[in-house]
Amino acid sequence: MAQDAATLKSILTAAPVVPVIIHDDVASARNLAEALVAGGLTTLEVTLRTPNALKVIAEMAKVAGAVVGSGTVCKKADMEASRDAGCRFMVSPGAPVALLEAAEDIAIPLLPGIASPSEAMAASLMGYSYLKFFPAEAMGGAPVLKSFASPLPDISFCPTGGIDLEKAKTYLRLPNVVCVGGSWVVPGETIAAGDFDAIRSLAAQAAQLSA
């Protein structure tokens, strides 16, 4: 089965920004998800970069309105664990053929990362029409992604990597951008301080952007 484009489109278009979350504290996971959803960001990517990431995902998935996915998915075992934790989608930093093939056995959609036209074309040939452009700023940013639009008209992108509120505005004006991913809405020091009102405010500011 190729990428479930319809399901992924509904997930990625729910809000203009997908928070990229690195979080290990299971006890505060629901508070964080509730703050983001209250601010208007309902699609949440929790990266598999911490020991308790899957437990955090499971807790966030209990929050009403939250659509929780996993990030930094690099192998089939990550996909299986993501599915079992209650993920609704998955995000990978790259798009190796073996990973895309493995995703065919998983019931939730994968958003693979690409950094070049060749990688985007290879994923497209395997049925993927929604891709992550990563690492966006390091690979040339919005001007590069803009140049993809004409030769690759059937692909939509979620740029991620080095994006802040102002850069997000530029990306979201591009015709081939469906949303952006960013960690600026979930600053670690703010979360550590338990200031979830501030997180909600950051989310609300991001939710007002338009794609």
pLDDT for residue 3: 87
Taking the C-alpha atoms of residue 186 and residue 100, their distance in angstroms, rounded to an integer, is: 29
So which residues are the catalytic ones?
A: 45, 132
C-alpha R_g of the chain: 16
Q: Which residues of the chain have pLDDT under 70?
A: 1-2, 211
Domain assignment present for residue 115? The answer is yes
Domain assignment present for residue 211? The answer is no
pTM: predicted TM-score of the whole model, two decimal places: 0.96
pLDDT for residue 18: 98
pLDDT for residue 210: 80
Domain assignment present for residue 74? The answer is yes
pLDDT for residue 211: 57
Amino acid, single-letter form, for residue 105: D
Domain assignment present for residue 57? The answer is yes
Domain assignment present for residue 146? The answer is yes
pLDDT for residue 143: 98
Range of the domain at 182: 5-205
Domain assignment present for residue 119? The answer is yes
Domain assignment present for residue 144? The answer is yes
pLDDT for residue 2: 66
The enclosing H or E element of 143 equals helix 141-148
Number of domains in the chain: 1
User: Are the beta carbons of 47 and 70 closer than 8 angstroms?
Assistant: yes
CATH of residue 105: 3.20.20.70
Helices (H), 40-174: 53-60, 76-85, 97-103, 117-125, 141-148, 165-172
